[in-house]
Amino acid sequence: MYPISKVLIRAVVFSLLATPEILAEEFFWSMEESNFGYLGMTGRVDPDSIGGEIGGVIQGSEYLSGRLSIALLYSENIDENFFTGANLGFRISLPYRISPFIGIGVFGGYTKETISAEDDHIDNNDDGIVDEQGEEKKAIDEILFSIYPEFGITVWITESFGISGNASYQIASAGRDHDYWYYGGFMTFAVD
Ligand SMILES: [Ca+2]
Ligand SMILES: [Ca+2]
Q: What percent of the chain has pLDDT over 70?
A: 84
| CATH match of 4-112+139-190 with 2.40.160.20 | yes
Confidence of residue 101 (pLDDT cuts 50, 70, 90): very high
- Ligand minimally distant from the alpha carbon of residue 131: 2
Q: How far is the CA of 114 from the centre of ligand 1 (A)?
A: 15
- pLDDT, the chain, mean: 86
Q: How far is the CA of 72 from the centre of ligand 1 (A)?
A: 29
Burial of 73 (0-12, 13-18, 19+ CB in 10 A): buried
- Ligand minimally distant from the alpha carbon of residue 128: 1
Higher per-residue confidence, 184 vs 22: 184
Per-residue pLDDT of 29-49, as tens digits, reads: 545 567 899 999 999 888 888
For ligand 1, a single-atom ion, the residues with CB < 5 A are 123, 125, 127, 129, 135
Q: How far is the CA of 80 from the centre of ligand 1 (A)?
A: 21
Q: Distance of CA 38 to CAs 19, 48, 128, 190, Å?
A: 27, 23, 44, 9
Confidence of residue 20 (pLDDT cuts 50, 70, 90): very low
Between 17-31, 61-75, 144-158, the lowest mean confidence (pLDDT) is in 17-31
Q: How far is the CA of 136 from the centre of ligand 1 (A)?
A: 8
Q: What percent of the chain has pLDDT over 90?
A: 54
Q: How far is the CA of 73 from the centre of ligand 1 (A)?
A: 30
Give the pLDDT mean for 60-66.
88
Per-residue confidence (pLDDT) for residue 13, from 0 to 100: 66
- Ligand minimally distant from the alpha carbon of residue 122: 2
Is the pLDDT score of 60 beyond 60?
yes
- Ligand minimally distant from the alpha carbon of residue 118: 2
Q: How far is the CA of 80 from the centre of ligand 2 (A)?
A: 20
Is the pLDDT score of 78 beyond 70?
no
Q: Could you tell me if 95 and 28 are in contact, meaning their C-beta atoms sit under 8 angstroms apart? A: yes
Q: Rounded CA gap, 180 and 40, in Å?
A: 19
Q: Rounded CA gap, 80 and 46, in Å?
A: 17
Q: Distance of CA 190 to CAs 11, 12, 54, 59, Å?
A: 17, 21, 14, 11
Global pTM reads 0.75
